[in-house]
Amino acid sequence: RDLVELDELVPTCRRCPRLVAWREEVARVKRAAFRDETYWGRPVPGFGPHDAALAIVGLAPAAHGANRTGRMFTGDRSGEVLFAAMHAVGLASQPHGHRADDGLRLFGTRITAPVRCAPPENKPLPSERDNCRPWLARELELLRPTLRAILVLGGFGWQALLPVLSAAGWRVPRPAPKFGHGVEVTLSAAEGTGELHLFGCYHVSQQNTFTGRLTPPMLRDVLRRAATAAGL
């Protein structure tokens, strides 16, 4: 199986009854501003090239963002902040991504998430995080030949990712490294492939960006460090 196939399989998943019901309900009711659009309403696959050196791991699709457009971080405020910063540091072809067909290309970077379906209040249950883990594990395994760094947006993604990394063949230090903004951890590979540089960054949610907890310069700084570590 390759990433092309994985990207086709992810949207067919119906493993979490609560999230299946929610993603489809949101897609049916819609937000007034988008009432003429057809919502995606399914699990969202990773976005970006299949030979990425850097992965960005978020939380889960937003109800009216990726759950509407079908592309990670596309169509919501979090994505506006992220794509602007990615463009500023040379990882994206344009500073915004509003629709899946807007021509945005990512350079050497793949954006993905530990939970693929939009959860109520952006809060997946631990059981849903566990259900979804094999999708991220498979994706990272397929990226492994080229993957050199991961930028994790927020503590949820960090907690969800560490078990995946150890299952995928990287040595995660014990005690497990703690999430923090700007934290950098270098993992060695169990065999074969080289080391992996892990970076923590506050999530690009409005809760953080509107309050100034995460500013655009802070985001660009960590993105640049992660891109450099990835050789981009």
Minimum gap (Å) between residue 25 Cβ and ligand SF4: 14
| Residues 16-55 close enough to bind ligand SF4 by CB under 6 A | 16, 19-20, 43
Does residue 232 interact with ligand SF4 by CB under 6 A? no
Q: Long-range contacts of range 98-106, CB-CB < 8 Å, 24 or more positions apart?
A: 98/69, 98/74, 99/69, 99/71, 99/74, 99/75, 100/69, 100/70, 100/71, 100/74, 102/74, 104/74, 106/47, 106/48, 106/49, 106/52
Is the CB of 43 or the CB of 119 nearer to ligand DU? Answer: 43
Is the CB of 67 or the CB of 209 nearer to ligand SF4? Answer: 67
- Residue 191 CA to residue 78 CA, distance in Å, equals 36
Helix H or strand E encompassing 109: strand 109-112
Is the CB of 69 or the CB of 131 nearer to ligand SF4? Answer: 131
Give the binding-site size for ligand SF4 (rule: CB under 6 A).
Answer: 14
Minimum gap (Å) between residue 44 Cβ and ligand DU: 13
- Residue 39 CA to residue 77 CA, distance in Å, equals 17
Minimum gap (Å) between residue 62 Cβ and ligand DU: 19
| Residues 74-133 close enough to bind ligand SF4 by CB under 6 A | 115-117, 128, 131-132
